[in-house]
């Protein structure tokens, strides 16, 4: 144990912890095991918050969400080989989402691994990690910990943020160094993600596009949410008077109830706009690659794109005015230029958008009030919407298929970075990791709205939520299956259909098993009361909301991505 080591010495364990702390990293998301068990214990002893999960993937998702929320890399620590691989899923997801995270994994004896002599959990982890992250480094010597941690942090947050892998052979942790020398070897990163202002020419180009436009639109993405330039973005939107469309995790930078929010008129603005400012949002599959019917006549619009990564430009469609820089600096440059040009807000266009949005919202409002038995998605989401409106500080975590798609459009978000969901991959199973990180990093109440299938990928982490007594209320939309709960076995045999689960599964009883509050809610009133109690008390709660098994569409809003078999149809 460290206490018995001579005072003048330090070692790899302590240098790694000191290096993280020196750089303001106070929390580790881990799963203990050889060779990092003591690392977690020492980190806790040194005053770090160590949140131990039941499975590395969720510790990794938590770290990535911590990165999104704080602009500092979230740190996930895992054991070697299988634990490492479980963490890599989250590392790749972080990189895909452009969120900073560092995966630190213990690894086996280098000499044995390199000769493939069959060590305990042998794997060349460094090579495996590389394709899934921005950078990957191995630490062979304790004296390199300082510089390696500094470099890892800088790699994760600079430019387009992403995941970084740090490989720590177990033996390195035990290497000793003189204490003073060790201290001197640590490096505090200076300005790891420098602000990046756009060039004057690029701003002028963008302003020219806007000058000619009659129906401009701003699309705000999670890169903008990450940038934390909330006030500047608000100023740009309000001074320009343009309608804005928030991508799902950009909801709340400006409240969804803002008079310029075009979320409820999405189809109209995508189709009819003639100039689009993409602000920290990629033109990827989530936006139909900027092509097709959804975007109106081909060639009918010009794109201005704000992105920290120059290579993002022209990825799918021509970008008439690339603005390379951070969202805050680019938005500020646009505000200044628009003011000096005196461009007036396009009032008629905004009125047209508002009329459509209001009509769509009115149509939806009635559906949300229904009392159908069994409960449908609309009624359940009406209750969730009310709860978040009442407590706008609540962070909403959301995943599923129908549960995700409908919740995203129905439930208003009022504050920046208060919605965390499946991100760029549309991945299932992020829910519990995200909920833990949101609660740990912000201290706020979390409401996780989960499809029953999505919950299945991460459900064991409710034990983690109960163990750390986190203010997390999970609502499972339980319709007994994937997409729907009424599927049939196409072969007609005794096995259940591939997409159904045990009918009326009592997920609420799982929560009770860990000392949390469990509620089985069968109608909107029961759901409302259970959520109210959970959010008022802050107690770990799981509400098993029984949803009509016949409700729900195949793959939610993205059923068109399913290939279909011509042979089977014939
Ligand atoms: P969404 O899914 O919300 O549409 P994406 O994840 O597709 O958003 O896009 C986020 C974009 O934001 C990425 O292209 C990324 O390079 C960019 N980005 C990340 N951080 C910043 C920043 N601070 N300033 C500008 N762009 C950023």
DSSP secondary structure string for all residues of 119-159: -TT---HHHHHGGGSSEEEE--SGGGHHHHHHHHHHHHHSS
Whether the CB of 110 sits within 6 Å of ligand 1:
no
- 69, 98, 227, best to mutate for ligand 1 pocket (most atoms within 8 Å of CB): 98
Atom of ligand 1 nearest to the CA of 221: 3
Per-residue pLDDT at 344: 83
Q: Is the CB of 286 under 6 A from ligand 1?
A: yes
Answer whether 160 contacts ligand 1 (Cβ < 6 A): yes
- Residue 555 has what pLDDT? 86
SS3 521: strand
Q: Is the CB of 226 under 6 A from ligand 1?
A: yes
**Does 197 sit in the ligand 1 pocket, CB within 6 Å?**
no
Mutational test site, ligand 1, from 161, 229, 282, 285, max ligand atoms within 8 Å of CB: 282
421 lines ligand 1 (CB under 6 A): no
Identify the three-state secondary structure at position 219.
strand
Q: Is the CB of 71 under 6 A from ligand 1?
A: no
Is 368:412 a contact under the CB 8 Å cutoff?
no
The pLDDT tens digits for 81-101 are: 999 999 999 999 999 999 999
Instruction: Please provide the size of the chain in residues.
Output: 570
Helices and strands (DSSP H and E) totals, the chain: 23, 19
d(CA 272, CA 301): 9
Q: For this complex, say whether ipTM is above 0.90.
A: yes
Please give the distance, rounded to the nearest whole angstrom, from the Cα atom of residue 425 to the centre of ligand 1: 14
Residues linked to residue 49 through DSSP beta bridges, in sequence order: 27
Q: What is the pLDDT of residue 3?
A: 55
pLDDT tens sequence across 501-531: 999 999 999 999 999 999 999 999 999 999 9
Residue 307 CA, closest ligand 1 atom number = 26
Q: Whose CA is nearest to atom 8 of ligand 1?
A: 281
182 Cβ below 6 A of ligand 1: no
Residue 374, preceding peptide bond in cis (omega within 30° of 0) = yes
Model-level pTM greater than 0.90?
yes
CA 475 to chain centre: 18
Q: What is the DSSP letter of 91?
A: H
| Two structure tokens written together for 469 | 């007594």
Residue 328 CA: nearest ligand 1 atom is 24
**Distance between CA 73 and CA 208 in Å, rounded?**
38
How close is the Cα of 318 to the center of ligand 1, in Å?
A: 18
Counting as low any pLDDT under 50, the low residues of the chain are: 570
Predicted local confidence at residue 554, as pLDDT: 85
SS (H, E, C) 363-431: HHHHHHCCCCCCCCHHHHHHHHHHHHHHCCCCEEEEECCHHHHHHHHHCCCCCCCCEECCCCCCCCCCH
Query: How far is 181 from 294, CA to CA, in rounded Å?
Result: 62
């Amino acid at each position: 144990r460290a206490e018995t080591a001579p005072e003048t010495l330090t070692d790899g364990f302590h240098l790694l912890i000191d290096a993280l702390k020196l750089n303001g990293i106070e929390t580790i998301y881990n799963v203990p095991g050889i060779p990092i068990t003591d690392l977690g214990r020492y980190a806790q002893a040194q005053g770090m918050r160590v949140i131990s999960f039941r499975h590395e993937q969720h510790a990794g998702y938590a770290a990535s969400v911590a990165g999104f929320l704080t602009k500092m890399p979230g740190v996930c620590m895992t054991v070697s080989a299988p634990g490492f691989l479980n963490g890599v899923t989250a590392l790749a997801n972080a990189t895909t989402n452009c969120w900073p995270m560092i995966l630190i994994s213990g690894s086996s004896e280098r000499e044995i691994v390199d000769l493939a002599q069959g060590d305990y959990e042998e794997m060349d982890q460094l090579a495996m990690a590389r394709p899934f992250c921005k950078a990957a480094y191995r630490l062979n010597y304790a004296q390199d910990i300082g510089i390696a941690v500094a470099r890892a942090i800088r790699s994760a947050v600079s430019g387009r943020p992403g995941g970084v892998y740090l490989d720590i052979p177990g033996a390195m942790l035990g290497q000793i160094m003189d204490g003073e020398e060790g201290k001197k070897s640590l490096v505090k990163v200076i300005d790891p993600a420098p602000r990046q202002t756009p060039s004057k020419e690029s701003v002028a180009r963008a302003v020219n596009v806007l000058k000619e436009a009659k129906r401009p639109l701003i699309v705000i993405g999670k890169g903008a949410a990450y940038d934390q330039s909330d006030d500047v973005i608000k100023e740009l939107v309000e001074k320009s008077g343009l309608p804005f469309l928030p991508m799902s995790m950009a909801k709340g930078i400006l409240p969804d109830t803002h008079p310029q929010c075009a979320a409820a008129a999405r189809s109209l603005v995508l189709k009819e706009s003639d100039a689009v400012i993409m602000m920290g949002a990629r033109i990827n599959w989530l936006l139909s690659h900027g092509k097709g019917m959804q975007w109106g006549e081909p060639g009918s619009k010009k794109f201005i794109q704000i992105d920290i990564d120059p290579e993002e430009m022209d990825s799918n469609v021509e970008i008439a005015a690339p603005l390379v820089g951070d969202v805050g600096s680019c938005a500020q440059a646009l505000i200044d230029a628009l003011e000096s040009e005196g461009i007036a807000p396009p009032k008629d266009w905004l009125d047209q958008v508002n009329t459509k949005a209001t009509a769509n919202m009115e149509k939806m409002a009635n559906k949300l009030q229904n009392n159908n038995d069994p409960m449908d998605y609309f009624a359940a989401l009406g209750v969730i919407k009310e709860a978040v409106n009442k407590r706008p500080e609540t962070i909403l975590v959301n995943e599923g298929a129908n549960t995700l798609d409908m919740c995203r459009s129905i439930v208003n978000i009022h504050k920046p970075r208060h919605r965390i969901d499946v991100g760029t991959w549309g991945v299932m199973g992020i829910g519990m990791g995200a909920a833990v990180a949101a609660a740990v990093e912000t201290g706020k109440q979390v409401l996780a709205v989960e499809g029953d299938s999505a919950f299945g990928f991460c459900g064991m982490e409710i034990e983690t939520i109960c163990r750390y007594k986190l203010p997390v209320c999970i609502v499972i939309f339980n319709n007994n299956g994937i997409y729907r709960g009424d599927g049939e076995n196409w072969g007609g045999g005794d096995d259940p259909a591939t997409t159904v689960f045990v009918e009326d599964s009592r997920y609420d009883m799982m929560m009770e098993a860990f000392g949390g509050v469990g509620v089985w809610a069968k109608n909107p009133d029961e759901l409302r009361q259970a959520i109210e109690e959970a959010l008022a008390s802050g107690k770990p709660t799981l509400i098993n909301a029984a949803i009509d098994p016949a409700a729900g569409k195949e793959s939610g809003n993205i059923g068109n991505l399913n290939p279909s078999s011509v042979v089977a149809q014939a």
